[in-house]
Chain A
C-alpha cells in the first residue's frame, strides 16, 4: 500500500492540510478529509460536472484531479461562494429567485461553472449560457430556469 502523502492547500481562503493516499481525488478530499460536502460526486469520470470547483480561479472536475496534485493551490468550492454565513452570492440569489434548483444535486457545479462563465463573459447571450453550462447535467432537467437565473445574474451585473 503506497504511503500517505501530506498535502497543503487553500480551500475557500483557509489553509488545509491532510495526509492522504495518492489516489484520493480532490472531490473525495473535500468531502471526507475536510467535511465540505457541498461538492457533489456524480459520475466520477468527468461527464456530469457535479463535482466542479475552481482551482486557481478556473473550473475543474474535482473527480479527475488527485488531492496530492493540489499542493499550494487555491480551491474555491460552493461553500466559499457566499460573502457571509447569512447572505447569498448574487448567483445563488438568482438561482433562488428563478427556481433554478429542484433536487439540488447539480447546483454547486452549476453555480461554479456559471461563475467562471460570467467572469469570462459578463454579458452572455442565452445561447452562450446554454453552451457554457452544457457540461453540467441536471437530471431533474431544470435547465430552463437555470439558464434564466444565470442570465438574470448577468443582467444584474453583480457577479463579475
Chain B
C-alpha cells in the first residue's frame, strides 16, 4: 500500500516536460491530479521509474474560450472547471458531469485532461468528450497533433498517447444555441464510477423535429462509444416518449457490455436503454428552454 520508489521530476515549462518524456519514455508517467495514477501506484499496479509532475507548468492551467470552443489545459482541476463561468455557461453538460466524479476532494485535485488520458471506460468525462466533439491536443518534442476524442480512446485504460507525448489541452465544442442536453448515470454508490453513463444532445428544427442528435455511452465496453444507430433513428422524427422508447430499444442492439463483479451484461444493456430514454427526455426539455430563451 506504499508506492515503489521513483525519481521525481518537476518541470516548469512544457518544453522541459517534453524533453523528460523523450528521455525516459515508457519508464516515465505524467503526474497531473494523481487521483487515478497514485492509487494504482499505491497498489503497485503502476511502478513508474520516473514521475514527471506537470503541476508546476503554469502554461497548462488555463481554461480559455474561443469561438465555438472551450479549451481546458492539462492541469486545470475538475472542480475549477465545474465552477468556471465559461464552462457553466457554454458547456453545462461538462459542469454537471464533473459533479458525478468521486467527491469534491477528488475533483479539487483531479484534472479534466487527466481523466481522458487515464481512459477508464466507466469514467464520466470520456463520455462527455465524445458527446461534445472534443479534440485532444498532444505534443512531443518537435511535433504536435490533434486527435478527435472518438479516435483517442483505443482500448481499456488505453489511448493513442505515445510514451513521449504529453496531453496539453482538450478543446470541447460548444453546441449550437438551442441544443438541449442530458447527462445521467447509475453507480452503486455516490462518487463511484458509473455502471452505465449516458450523454445526449438534441437539437430541433423549426418544425419541432429532431435536426441532430448525439448519444454517447460509457461503461458498456472497453471504450466510450457513440450510439450511431440510435442517433440515426432520432433524426427527422418528432421527439417524445414513443421516439425515446424506440431509441432505448435501439441502443440495446448496438452495444456489447461485458459481465463483471459490478453488473451483468444484460443488466448493463437494460440500464443503457433506461438511461438513454431519461437523458433524451431531459435533453428535450432543455431544447424547449433554450429555444424560448
Tell me which of A60-68, A75-83, A100-108, A145-153 binds B.
Answer: A60-68
In chain B between 96 and 130, which residues have their CB closer than 8 angstroms to a CB of chain A? Answer: 102-106, 108-109
Is B133 in contact with chain A by the CB < 8 A criterion?
no
Interface residues as binary, A81-113 with B (CB distance below 8 Å gives 1, 0 otherwise): 000000000000000000000000000000001
Which one, B39, B104, B189, contacts A64 given CB within 8 A? B39
How many residues does chain B have at the interface if contact means C-beta atoms less than 8 Å apart?
31
Chain B residue nearest in CB terms to A131:
B190
Interchain nearest-CB distance for A105 vs B (Å): 16
The interface bits of chain A over 1-31 (1 if a CB of B lies within 8 angstroms of the residue's CB, else 0) are 1100100000000000000011101001000
Do B35 and A64 touch across chains, with their CB atoms under 8 A apart? yes
Answer whether residue A33 sits at the interface, using C-beta atoms and an 8 A cutoff: no
Given known A-B contacts A46-B35, A131-B190, A61 and B105 have beta carbons under 8 A apart: yes
Q: Which residue of A lies closest to B83 (CB)?
A: A120
Task: Give A35 to B207 CA distance when docked, in angstroms.
Answer: 69
Cβ 8 A contact of A135, one of B5, B34, B51, B106: B106
Check B79–A135 contact: CB distance below 8 A: no
Cβ B103 vs Cβ A134 within 8 A: yes
Q: Are A5 and B8 closer than 8 Å at their CB atoms?
A: yes
Please tell me if the beta carbons of B42 and A61 are within 8 angstroms of each other in the complex: no
A-side interface residues, number (CB < 8 Å):
31
Main DSSP-derived SS at the B contact region: loop
Which residues of B does A touch, CB under 8 Å?
Answer: 1-8, 10, 31, 34-35, 38-39, 41-43, 51, 53, 55, 79, 102-106, 108-109, 189-191
10 more contacts with CB within 8 A, not counting A22-B51, A61-B105, A135-B105, are A2-B7, A5-B8, A23-B41, A64-B35, A66-B34, A66-B38, A68-B10, A69-B55, A135-B106, A136-B103
What would be 16 A-B contacts, judged by CB atoms less than 8 Å apart? A2-B7, A21-B5, A22-B6, A28-B2, A45-B39, A46-B35, A46-B38, A59-B104, A59-B108, A60-B109, A63-B38, A64-B35, A65-B34, A69-B53, A134-B189, A135-B105
Give the B-binding residues of A (Cβ under 8 A): 1-2, 5, 21-23, 25, 28, 44-46, 49, 52, 58-61, 63-66, 68-69, 113, 116-117, 131-132, 134-136
